[in-house]
A and B are shown apart, each in its own frame.
Chain A
Amino acid sequence: MTDPSIADSSATPDGASVPDTAIPDAETPAAQCPYCSRPFRTEQACTLHLGDAHGETWTDDERAAYEAAVDDESDDLFVFHLKVVGALSLLYAVYVLAYMIVLGLQG
């Protein structure tokens, strides 16, 4: 009475699988993963993907490229995090000001 072909699809773990991709007609991907053939819009994304997904099987060259890409991204990430801290401070300031004005008008 159980139908094995219809399993509970809400609980199928396949986090490691390759996501579906689609490349627009006018474009050629900048890079493609040699292991799972996933296409990427930038060389850097592909290099980073190698480290995230294929860290056990990669070559020494790929490893070196990955470490360089991580360093590159770290600089961008630092700038990004500065912006995040700025945005948080701004958000905080705006709300403090809003509360002060609103409560001030009431009091």
Chain B
Amino acid sequence: MSRSPSIARWALGIVCATVFAGEAAAHAGGLSGTFKPVAVPSWLVVATGGGVIGASFLLTSLVTDHAFIRGVTEWRAALPTRTTARTVAVRGVRWLSVGVLAAIVMIGSTGPSVAAANLAIVGVWAGWWAGYTMTTYLVGNTWPAVNPWRPLAGLGALLRDRVLDRPTRRYPERLGAWPSVVGLVGLVWLEVISPIAQQPRTLVGVIAGYSVVTVAGAVVYGRETWFGVVDPIARVFRWYGRVAPLQRTGRGIEFVLPGGALADGRSGADETAFVVALLWVTTYDGLVATPAWATAIRTVVGWGLPPSAVYLGTAIAGFGCFLYIYRVAARWSRRTADTYVTARYLRDWFAPALVPIAAGYHLAHFLGYFLSLSPALVAVIAQPIAPPAAIRTLVLPAWFGTLQLAFVLAGHMLAVWVAHARSFAIFPGRLAPIRSQYPFVLVMVFYTVFSMWIVGQPYTQPPYL
């Protein structure tokens, strides 16, 4: 047993220990043993979660003043920003991010093959997908400024104009956000079935493939169209960014109350599908690491189906299932609200309320992962080519499991509030908006129970991978 750097100990108040590299690479391994410190049986904890969501809906229903609800969601405070300073900073950061991408690809293909000692693995999973993603919903969406593929696509566009001299092609509008829905489910499936969280070389291959598709797409259809419509990663961060308190507007940067930026605006069926897909993939990522999943998948593969097809099939079927349940809830909401507003409109209208749930679940899933791997991240950033032989990771205290459950609940509670504010924006009076929420709240209670159950399961390596 050795001690971690004192800064980390001081900042986190967490006892540290040396863990073997293989264990450190275990995806989402920080979640195991969530219920151990509590004497209360897990079914009761999970049922309490469902009860808390029900209670928060009941409490929210006491707030029925249209003007007050609008006042909360529309409250804004402008932050002073200097345009020139911002432009310079954004340019610098943009090229810095290209450098980081290059370093990740280089170290990933030539660096140590041990996952926890390789900058590519630790940087992408702990640094970017866990750590950076948290900043997009906790602080603000900075992805347009730091996306390394944007300047690369800019170079591509320069070449297109100079060498080929061809205009951008028109993006078929009827496709809308659908390619990004397919891309998101596809990326998460790939993340689950391939060893991109363990083998640096495979990860570099996937990054290279994504880069080629992204830069080519941005060159052919134009950068704004590609990153604004097609690219699934940019869309994930844009939605997460709407949960955040800092919002970029035409006038500069504004500070809003939680969920304030989600309370207005309407989007189409393709965006609704994307939000549901976002919710599903965060669930799927956790679901595949539960013991129940391992048992089920062994049974199905025992019937003679290829494992990767089973994983793909379940990824698509689960998404379809989520979408179906949400549609049924919207149809039912039409009856409880006693309205002529179409079910389709309601579906698209309430979809943004689902985003805080995905964010809360992401935080529960990845904060522990990020914290436990943060010493490894520091070590591989400091010495990317020859990292120390023993990579340290943090062992999180037992109460951390309770904190994770609190994050799941907080996401749901914010979702209840956003849906409440949205219902008051389209239904007249004070009773119809509340009644419109009955089906959604019922679904949410069950979903809370389901996701808290997943978070509380011990980490199990998904079989056949």
User: Quick one: CB contact mask for A13-44 with B, threshold 8 Å, 1 for yes?
Assistant: 11101011111000001000000001111101
Q: Which of B167-175, B285-293, B358-366, B372-380 is found at the contact surface with chain A? A: B167-175
Q: Which residues of B contact A57 (CB under 8 A)?
A: none
- Tell me if A2 and B428 are in contact (CB < 8 A): no
**B341 and A21 form a contact (CB under 8 A):** yes
Residues of chain B whose beta carbon lies under 8 Å from any beta carbon of chain A = 39-41, 44, 47-48, 51, 54-55, 58-59, 61-62, 64, 66, 157, 168, 170-171, 173, 176-177, 221-225, 228-229, 235, 238-239, 242, 263-268, 270-271, 338-342, 344-345, 349, 425-426, 428-432, 434
Looking at A9, A17, A29, the one whose CB has the most chain B CB atoms below 10 A away is: A9
**B51: contacting residue among A3, A70, A95, A106, CB under 8 A:** A95
A3 & B39 in contact (Cβ 8 Å cutoff): no
Chain A residues contacting B267 (CB-CB under 8 Å) are 9-10, 12
- CB distance B238 to A6 under 8 Å? no
Q: A41–B430 Cα gap in the complex (Å)? A: 16
Chain A CB count within 10 A is highest, among B58, B229, B428, for B428
A17 contacts which of B64, B266, B339 (Cβ < 8 Å)?
Answer: B266
Residue of B nearest to A87 (CB): B58
Contact surface of A with B, Cβ cutoff 8 Å: 1-3, 5-15, 17, 19-23, 29, 38-42, 44-46, 48-49, 51-53, 69-70, 73, 76-77, 80-81, 84, 87-88, 91-92, 94-95, 98-99, 102-103, 106
Q: How far is the CA of A12 from the CA of B59 in the complex (A)?
A: 30
B contact residues around A22 at 8 Å (CB): 340, 342
Main secondary structure of the interface of A (DSSP, over half): helix
In whole angstroms, what is the CA distance A30 to B101 when docked? 61
Report the nearest A residue to B223, measured CB to CB. Answer: A1
Selected contact of B238 from candidates A11, A42, A102, CB within 8 Å: A11
- CB < 8 Å: which of B271, B338, B432 contacts A10? B271
Give every chain B residue within 8 A of A98 (Cβ-Cβ): 44, 47
22 contacts between A and B (CB under 8 A): A2-B223, A2-B225, A3-B170, A3-B221, A5-B173, A6-B225, A8-B238, A10-B242, A13-B265, A20-B342, A22-B342, A23-B340, A39-B340, A45-B428, A45-B429, A46-B428, A52-B429, A53-B428, A76-B431, A91-B54, A98-B44, A98-B47
CA distance A46 to B340 in the complex (A): 12
User: B51 and A48: CB pair below 8 A?
Assistant: no
Known: A20-B344, A22-B340, A98-B44. A9 touches B176 (CB 8 A): yes
Would A102 and B428 be within 8 Å (CB), given that A15-B264, A81-B62 are in contact?
no
Question: Contact between B44 and A80 (Cβ–Cβ < 8 Å)?
Answer: no
The smallest beta-carbon distance between B167 and chain A, in angstroms, is 8
Q: Which residues of A contact B224 (CB under 8 A)?
A: 1-3
The residue that B341 contacts in the complex, of A20, A42, A48, with Cβ under 8 A, is: A20
Smallest CB–CB gap between B232 and chain A, Å? 13
Contact of B39 among A23, A51, A103 (CB under 8 A): A103
Contacts of A9 in B (CB 8 A): 176-177, 267-268, 270-271
Q: Which residues of A contact B266 (CB under 8 A)?
A: 12, 14-15, 17
**In the complex, what distance in Å separates the CA atom of A92 from the CA atom of B344?**
36
Q: Is the CB of B428 within 8 A of A3?
A: no
Bound-complex Cα distance A14 to B170 (A): 26
Bound complex: CA A102 to CA B235 (Å): 45
Complex CA–CA separation, A80 to B157 (angstroms):
60
Q: Are A41 and B339 in contact, CB atoms less than 8 angstroms apart?
A: yes
Known contacts A13-B264, A14-B265, A102-B44: does B54 contact A48 (CB below 8 Å)?
no
Asked, given contacts A1-B222, A2-B222, A3-B168, whether A21 binds B428 with beta carbons under 8 Å apart, the answer is no
Q: State whether A6 touches B228 (Cβ < 8 A).
A: yes
**Chain A neighbourhood of B55, CB < 8 A:** 88, 91-92
Q: Are A102 and B222 in contact (CB under 8 A)?
A: no
> Is the beta-carbon distance between B58 and A48 smaller than 8 angstroms?
no
Shortest A30–chain B CB gap in Å is: 10
Could you say which of B176, B223, B432 has the most chain A C-beta atoms within 10 Å of its C-beta? B432
Least CB distance from B187 to A in Å reads 18
Give the residues in chain A near B229, CB-CB below 8 Å.
Answer: 6, 8
Q: Inside 8 A of B432's CB, which chain A residues have their CB? A: 45
Q: Are A73 and B431 in contact (CB under 8 A)?
A: yes
A103, B429: Cβ atoms closer than 8 Å: no
Within the assembled complex, what's the spacing in Å between the Cα atoms of A8 and B229?
7
* Complex: A46 Cα to B429 Cα, angstroms: 9
A88 touches B58 (CB 8 A): yes
Provided the pairs A11-B265, A48-B429, A106-B39 are in contact, do residues A42 and B338 lie with their beta carbons within 8 angstroms?
A: yes
